[in-house]
Amino acid sequence: MKERTLGILGGGQLAQMLALAAIPLNVRVVVLEPDAQAPARLCAEHLAAPYTDPVGLNELAACEAVTLEFENVPVEALDALHGRVPVRPGAELLARSKHRAREKQALREAEADTAPFIVIESAPELQGALKQVGGRGILKTSELGYDGKGQARVSSDFELGQAWEALGGVPCVLEGFVNFEREVSLAVARTPDGRVAFGPLVENVHRDGILRTSIYPANVPAGTEEKAREMARAVAEHWGLEGLMTLEFFQLPSGPAGEGRLLVNEVAPRVHNSGHLTQDGGGVSQFEAQVRAVLGLPLTDWQPLHPCAMVNYVGVDGAEPEWEGIDALEGTRVHLYHKAHRHGRKLGHVNLVAPDAETLRQRLEQLEKLIP
Amino acid sequence: MKERTLGILGGGQLAQMLALAAIPLNVRVVVLEPDAQAPARLCAEHLAAPYTDPVGLNELAACEAVTLEFENVPVEALDALHGRVPVRPGAELLARSKHRAREKQALREAEADTAPFIVIESAPELQGALKQVGGRGILKTSELGYDGKGQARVSSDFELGQAWEALGGVPCVLEGFVNFEREVSLAVARTPDGRVAFGPLVENVHRDGILRTSIYPANVPAGTEEKAREMARAVAEHWGLEGLMTLEFFQLPSGPAGEGRLLVNEVAPRVHNSGHLTQDGGGVSQFEAQVRAVLGLPLTDWQPLHPCAMVNYVGVDGAEPEWEGIDALEGTRVHLYHKAHRHGRKLGHVNLVAPDAETLRQRLEQLEKLIP
C-alpha cells in the first residue's frame, strides 16, 4: 500500500495522537505549528512556523489532504490552501464552529435541538434578553472560548450587564440555563464520498469548566444513543462534513415529557477530549476515525469493545498524580503529552478498561483518587 | 511526570513500534540507524549514521537507557557505550543470542530443554555428527541467520557435507530434527531491579521460513503455558536479563510421555514478530512492555483481553493484499511500516481480534485469503 501524507493545522496533543494513529495506516503526517516544543513534534514532520507562513502552507498544500486539531485556524491560512489541497472539514464548516452564534443558528437550520439562545452584539440587545431565554442563563463570547473560559453564569439583568462588560463587550451568545441530567457526547465522521460512521455515546463530567472524566457506556435512558446519532447525522449531512465532528449534548431529566431528550450544547469539528477513551476500549480510536474519514479510507462505527473511561490529568500546582498507584491499578493506560507543567494545563490522560460496567465503576473510583 | 529518553540501536519496524508505544509514556526515543528511509524515522529522533558512529553513539549515551531492535549490534558500538549508559539487554546476553552455538550452550546451563545439537566448526566435526543428533537435522550458521536464511535440512552425511559447504564452511550448529506438534512463543521481561513479567503464550505458523500467522490463545495441552513461563523465567534470571526477551518453542506431540513438553528453539533479546498481536488484543503491548522493562517502570503481565491473531504482510511480486476486504472484515487492525515494496520483505501486519476463539478462527480464515 502506498504511503500517504496528511497535513495538520496545529501541533498539540490532538495532533500528536492523530499522528500516532496515522503512522500504522502508512500515513505520514506534516504539522504546521509555531510552538517549537509542541507535542506533535515527536511523531510528525514539524514545520515550526506561524499558521500563515507561506512556506509552511506550501508544505501542507503538497499533502493529500489537510485536517486540523483546533477550530480557530486563521482565515488567511484557509484562504492560502483553498483550491490547492482539500481541507477537511472545510472552511465554511470551520467558520461556523468557531463562532458560537453562527453555530447555534446553523444547528437550528439542521433541525438539531438546542437550548434557547439570543445573540448579543450591542448593549441595547441586553434589554429583556434574559427573560426571553428563561430568566437564568450563561453568557458566552461568540469566539475564542474554550474549557469554560470566556463565559459567565447570570441570573439577573444586572449580572448580565456586568458579565457582558467583564467579557469586554464583544459579541456574545446568551444561552438559557438548562437543568440537565448529564452531559454526553458523540462523534460522527463523514468521508468526502458521503459515508457516515459514529463513535460511542460517552458520558462526561466536568470540573471547573474542564472535562474531568468520560465514561462509556453512558448511563442514559433507552433510545438516547439513537437520538444522538440521528442529530449528529443530520448536522453532518446538512453542514456537508468531511472529516470528524464531535457533538456535546445536554441530556434532560427523564420523565413523561422528556425521556432521553437531548440538546446540542457545542460542536467541535475534530476529535475531542471526550473521545480519548476509544484509544484503549478496543477497536478503532477516534484518531484513526478522523484520519480515515479525511483521507476517504474505509470506515466503520468505532464502538469500544469494553466498558472504558478516561480521567484527565490537568496540571495542579504542588500536586502530582500517584503514578505508581495508577500503573498498579488493573486496566489503566497512561497517555502523556510531553508538555511542561503549568497549573490548569492538560498534560495527559489515563484511560481505563474493565470487563463489565460495575468493575469499571469500582476501578474508576480508585483512579479518581490517584489524580488530583 | 518528567520526560524520559530512550535510545534504540536500529530503526526498523520494531523500533518504530517501540517508539509509538513509548511516546504516550512521556518517553522520547532516539534511534541510531544508517538507513535514511528507516521506518522509525517517523516517530523518533533519527540519527542517520552507522551503528559505530561516535557522534551518534554520544547521542545514545546521553539517554537514560539504550535498548535495541536487532541482536547483531556491532561489538564496537556496545564497547563505546559501556560504562556511559545502561544497555538493556546487556552486551553479554547479546553476545549469546547472536551466536547460535553459545545460545544453545547457555540455554543448557539455564536448564532449559533444547533439541539435541552439535557445534560444527571444522570439517572433521561433521563425521558422525548427524547420527548423534538422531539421523536427521537442520544445519544452521552460528551467526547472522534469520527468517529461515542460513540454514538447511539434512538427512544424510552426504547432504550434511554439501550443506556445510553451501553455507560457506562457517561455524554452524547441527540441530536434531524435532517432530513437533506446533511452534509457540512467549516473551519475558525483567526490570533492572529484578521484577519479572510475562507476555501471552502464542501459537505460530511459518511459511517459507518466515512467520505467517500468530494466534492467541495457543491451542496447547493444559499446563503448557506454565512450563513456558518457568523456562522463560529460568533463562531470564540465569542470563541476568534487563529488558525483554522472546523464546520460541517447539511443542512436542501430546502423549503419555510428552504432555505439553517444550523445547526452546531460539531466543530473541527483544520484542518479536509473534508478539505483534498484543498491540490490539487489549491492554499493554509487547512494545510498551519492553519500554517499561528497560526504563524500570512498573510492569505487569501483558496478557491480551481477547482472542487475537496476526497475519504478516510480506512483499509478493505482482500481488497485493485486498485492503478493502481487510478493512471491511470485523476486528482487523492494519499496521504498515512505510517501507518500499520488495519481494520477501516484511512490509506490515494485520492484527485481528474477536470476542471468542471460534469467531477468531472464522475471521482468520477470511483474513488469510485476503493476504497473499
The 10s digit of each residue's pLDDT in A263-275 is 999 999 999 999 9
Is the ipTM higher than 0.90? The answer is: yes
Of the candidates B183, B171, B105, the one whose C-alpha atom is nearest the C-alpha of residue B139 is B171
Minimum-distance CB partner of A327 among B28, B298, B321: B298
**Interchain proximity B334–A28, CB inside 8 Å:** no
Specify the pLDDT at position B17. 98
Nearest to B1 among A282, A323, A328 (CB): A323
**For residue A266, is it left (φ>0), alpha (ψ between -120 and 50) or beta?**
beta
Cβ pair B231, B81 in contact under 8 A: no
What integer pLDDT is reported at residue B143 of this predicted model? 84
Under-50 pLDDT residues of chain A: none
Give pLDDT, residue B257.
57
Q: Considering CB atoms only, which of A19, A24, A283 is closest to B336?
A: A24
Residue B205's pLDDT is what? Answer: 97
Q: Which residues of A touch B353 (CB under 8 A)?
A: 282-283, 305
The verdict on a CB contact (< 8 Å) between A43 and B20 is yes
> By three-state DSSP, how is residue B78 classified?
helix
pTM exceeds 0.90 for this model: yes
Question: Measured between alpha carbons, how far is A352 from A363 in angstroms, rounded to an integer?
Answer: 8
- Nearest Cα to A263, choosing from A325, A341, A175, A345? A175
Q: All 3 cell numbers of residue B298?
A: 512498573
Beta bridge partners of A351: A310, A333
Nearest to B20 among A23, A306, A333 (CB): A23
Annotated binding site of A for ATP: 100, 140, 145-151, 175-178, 183, 206, 265-266
Q: What is the per-residue pLDDT for A257? A: 56
Q: What is the pLDDT of residue A202?
A: 98
Which three cell numbers mark A134? Answer: 428563561
E strands, chain A, in order: 4-9, 27-32, 45-47, 65-68, 117-120, 137-141, 151-154, 172-176, 182-190, 196-198, 202-207, 210-216, 243-251, 262-268, 308-314, 332-336, 346-353
Residues A171, A21: Cα–Cα separation, whole Å: 38
* CB < 8 Å to B193, chain A: none
Residue of B3, B283, B338 lying closest to A28 (CB–CB): B338
In B98-148, alpha helices (H): 100-109, 129-132
Contacts of A284 in chain B (CB under 8 A): 333
Give the C-alpha separation, A99 to A72, whole Å. Answer: 9
pLDDT of residue A145: 65
Q: How far is CA B357 from CA A87, A248, A304, B306, B326, in A?
A: 43, 37, 19, 9, 19
Q: Which chain A residues touch B21 with a CB distance below 8 Å?
A: none
Query: Hey, is A67 helix, strand or coil?
Result: strand
- Helix H, strand E, coil C: the string for B30-62 is EEECCCCCCHHHHCCEEECCCCCCHHHHHHHHC
Cell of A26: 502508512
Q: Which residue of B has its CA nearest to A327?
A: B298
In this prediction, residue B135 carries a pLDDT of 93
Instruction: Look up residue B146 and give its three cell numbers.
Output: 534469520
Averages of pLDDT over runs of 10 residues in chain B (372 residues) are 94 98 98 97 97 97 97 92 96 89 92 93 92 93 75 92 92 92 97 97 94 97 94 96 97 72 94 98 96 96 96 96 95 97 96 96 98 96
Q: Is B144 left (phi over 0), alpha (psi -120 to 50) or beta?
A: left
Place of cell 543448557: B108
Residues of A in contact with B330 (CB under 8 A): 300
Say how far apart CA A201 and CA A249 lie, in whole Å: 10
β-partners of residue B266 are B248
Please tell me the distance from the alpha carbon of residue A304 to that of residue A306, in angstroms, as a whole number.
Answer: 6
Q: If you measure CA to CA, which chain A residue comes closest to B5?
A: A338
> Is B1 within 8 Å of A335 when comparing Cβ atoms?
no
Supply the Cα-derived Rg of chain A in whole angstroms.
Answer: 20
Pairing of strands B172-176, B117-120: antiparallel
How far is CA A170 from its chain centroid? 24
Residue list for the binding site of B for ATP: 100, 140, 145-151, 175-178, 183, 206, 265-266
Exposure on the CB side of residue A76, measured as CA atoms within 13 A: 7
Using one digit for the tens of pLDDT, what is the confidence trace for B126-143? 999 999 999 999 999 988
DSSP, residue by residue, A223-284:
THHHHHHHHHHHHHHHTT--EEEEEEEEEPPPSTTTTT-EEEEEEESS--GGGGGGGTSSS-
Residues A243/A282, Cβ–Cβ less than 8 Å: no
Q: Mind listing the domains of chain B with CATH numbers? A: 4-87 (3.40.50.20), 116-176 (3.30.1490.20), 182-368 (3.30.470.20)
Q: Which residue has the cell 434557547?
A: A116
Burial of A165 from C-beta contacts in 10 A (0-12 / 13-18 / 19+): exposed
Q: Which of A63, A122, A66 is nearest to A94 (CA)?
A: A66
Amino acid at A148: G
User: Buried b vs exposed e over B308-317: b needs ≥16 C-beta within 10 Å?
Assistant: bbbbbbbbee
- Residues making up the annotated binding site of A are 100, 140, 145-151, 175-178, 183, 206, 265-266
Chain B residues within 8 A of A298 when measuring between CB atoms: 323-324, 327-328
Give the HSE-up count for residue B338: Cα atoms under 13 Å, Cβ half-sphere. Answer: 26
Q: How many other CB atoms are found less than 10 A from the CB of residue A283?
A: 21
